[in-house]
A and B are shown apart, each in its own frame.
Chain A
Amino acid sequence: MLSALLFAAALAPAHADEASAEACLKTKIWEGYNQGWAVRTATNATLAQGEHRIYLVTLYAGTEYKIMVCGDDGIVNADIVLYDSLGNEVMKDTAQDREPVVSYKAGSTDTYYVAVHATKLKEAGGKAGLATAVTYK
């Protein structure tokens, strides 16, 4: 009986739904088009609590950037931290939600690092799907 339960648990899918995160992000991207935003890149990741994904980005001086994340319903709090090319924190999202946004206008053209954190999940041992977009105008 116990072995059957463990086997079933092992087969249970991780609580991650990249598709729903992606659908949420796509809606935001298309809404953004109406306000003059365009998309450079949209991508997905599946993360456990405490994990993060780092994206290298080139930002043009004078261009406004908005970095958006949508988490699936398995995540309570996702965060974005923007670092400059030397690793200094430039900007951080502080909202306690699963759809963080960071806006930034670079003073000079350079490379930056965007860290997307799965800060708090609903279930220990679970995983969450997070979709990230770099948009500009």
Chain B
Amino acid sequence: MLIRRSEARAARQRLSEAYRGLSAGGLGRRGFLRQAGLGAAGLAALGSLAPGRAEAAGAMGVIDHAQPVQRIKNLCTHCSVGCTVIAEVQNGVWVGQEPAWESPINRGTHCAKGAAVRELVSGERRLKYPMKLVDGEWRRLSWDQAIEEIGAGLLRIREQSGPDAVFWLGSAKFSNEGAYLFRKMAAFWGTNSADHQARICHSTTVAGVANTWGYGAQTNSYNDIRNSRTIIIIGGNPAEAHPVSMQHVLAGRELNRANLIVFDPRFTRTAAHATEYVRIRPGTDIPIAWGLLWHVFRNGWEDKEFIRSRVYGMEEVRKEVERWTPQEVERVTGVPPAQMERVARLLATEKPATVVWCMGATQKTVGTANVRALCALLLATGNIGAEGTGANIFRGHCNVQGATDAGLDVVTLPYYYGLDENAWRHWCRVWEVDYDWMLSRFASKKLMETPGIPTTRWFDATLLPPDQIEQPSPLKAMMVFGHGGNTVTRMPDMVKGLEALEMLVVADPHPTTYAQVAPRRNNTWLLPICTQFETSGSRTASNRSLQWGERIVAPIFESKDDYEVLYLLARRLGFAEPMFKNIRVENNHPSPEDILREINRGSLSTGYSGQSPERLKLHMANQQHFDLVTLRGKEGTPVAGDYYGLPWPCWGTPEMKHPGSHILYNTNLHVKEGGGTFRARFGVERNGETLLAEGSFSKGSEIQDGYPEFTVALLKRLGWYEELTEHEREVIRRIGGENEDRVSWSTDLSFGIIRVAMEHGCVPYGNAKARALAWNLPDPVPVHREPIYTPRTDLLPPRDLMAVGGGTATPPPGTYPALPDRRGFRLPVEYQSRQLRSFDVARDYPIILTSGRLVEYEGGGEETRSNKWLAELQQDMFVEINPADAQARGIRDGQWVQVRGPEMPEGRWVRVKALVTERVGRGVAFMPFHFGGWFMGEDRRRFYPPGTDPIVLGESVNAVTTYGYDPVTGMQETKVTLCQIRAA
């Protein structure tokens, strides 16, 4: 049947002609086939008995081309790139997914997860109705009953142990509105122990970056990477974790012939596309940063003018960098000097350059210090605050940025106001509740202003002796919304913590690991929550753009959205009325638009104030009018001048029409056009040295030098106070009372201060220097510290030095111990006293274990492992092991092996498949973190409620991972520990 292109038509004709003698002729293909042949009808009937077709249309809808199709835009619920999803809907059923060509972020494309999201709402394996455990059996119950039981249980625990005995674990899968509502819920309940996945992904980024230049977020955008000439990716694997971002990275690489340099212990899929791949020993990011800076300073490649005018404390960095000679860097990291010099030269001379990092940098005991070292790298080379530069931090979940901003965090109220009395008073004003009433919700004013317990340590707060926990009672109950249980390290301890809880509530589309991993028999409830495709709301992508997702279908089965469940709970707990005072609730459904409007009113500090639901919806409807690279709305369109998704800060009220800020700290633009400066957040001077910018200011600024953040006092000094309207002054007076002068741009609910500052071209938050030296952190200038479990005990001080009183603060030269032991987040934190174990452990556990993402799965993986289209692609949990290590252990590719970490219970191993590959270097093993359902050799499938077990189960890497926490944020150590591997 050789048919050439030009003859295709004719050839098919010939095919039919060949059979014409046997048919009536002139029929369509089906017609002549039906009539052809001897006794065809009879034979055909037999034929239908034969093995059937490949396709079986399941419960999922099938498009009917005769009927009209509705196209609805929502957003992918997986990573933080923010890909628009276009759903085709017929009769309330999601029947097809189409490329969203208009979106400037994904331009029609998806990764494996995004291209498979439709499966989530057919949800064969979803949790279908509320359930609870009764003597180890899962029982169905009604929503009313579930809310009643949970509410009564919570109130009983509050009565007995106080509000801090309940841990509220939220989710980066919430919409902004859901995250905000959840944080508000915790506040109304009376605790600060409300956390979410940011703790375990980029909390150290937020802390490190915010402490450097003001805000904890990606400074530029995915799209802006198209402008870069040098792209350094360290501790990140966007090809698997953020595939759609690679569209911009690779395009940038191609268009500019840019250098793409990947630092990683693994030769990742990203590294495969790099112009230079640098293999490092896990846990040596700071030596890498300082090693690069050593060459920069040595050769005078630093941006001296930038440092002079916009950076504080670079001299201190320079002193630390001097220790990191190429030889020392090679000794510690394993990277040859010539390669370091080559990369340093590119970074400093082939500009603009950007540094991209992910959890390889952040999920460390030195996460915050890592981040700050990378910031210093950018500051020293002047690669920040302009197109093609910046800290392009790729966040993890679809709304982890937004949920972080919304204060779903143990250290702050929404939008980074902190926890002090001013912050509480600000939010009480926004919520229109009395501050004293709010105070009465808490156990004490001290606890009201003390950071809560982070998700990485909640089980310690359940298990440790009460005298070691700085609150009236250990944790007794846990409310988990949209969070996997296998995402925290030290799972064997976590399981004990779960067992000890009096009450556990899991609200999620899937039961999650929490539902089955512990031997609980009672007092465990599962609430079916719908996905974000079954509700509406805004989400903030990594680049700070907000996008509005429209409900595609109604919640399936008996599931409800977060808003409704939080409302029902608040009602049962008795504070729905004050909590939803300004939010319209219809039929138990709070309006997400109203929630966003409340956010707009209160979030002045972060510039979440201009993104009204109307503006966001306008952007979604006009996606095609935004420029691919600048993200700016084109002239003559309804969104002219706006940046796509109004990336925060979007100053002032929606009516002020601020376009959002595509690139943070960009002095080349007027503040009204999205320009900015480094934030004046840490005072105006220190030790006689100014902290304000010197001679640097954003375009059009009337103050042509540094200035502090705007307050009424500053306005008055500048003589601009009179420009406030009477109404604005009235509001300010009401807020300030006696101390009107102290009302600042971020607490002025009239937005007058912001308005006036911007009129004069000034950035409301001031104009300061970025801090290369952050004196408030444990290591003001980052210093290298070996991981808690390190194979390089030769880089630790002598044992006895570390063994005394929690460790030494002044280690001998050439040694890099962890910090001395300390306390944080209401709990004790071990450093050197735990690190001491390395001396004993390193011999029996010779392989460094690191962990990371797979493209097919996300997070704890319950959702994606339940998606049949994704699950098929990764059917087994595995460990990547170098061929040399495999050979030494007699391990073949694909066989079962056992892996054990130093903190696992005696005799227990996890059972996984071996993937023998040169991706990992000798002495390093890698395991993905998305698996669960097996626990230390035991298949726990039977403990899921029937029909809700994910298709693919496997051991969780966190059964193997070990102790270790960042001192600033409580971030867990997932990237460096030790393990042993043996053939099973």
A, B assembled together: no
Binding site for B on A (CB under 8 A): none
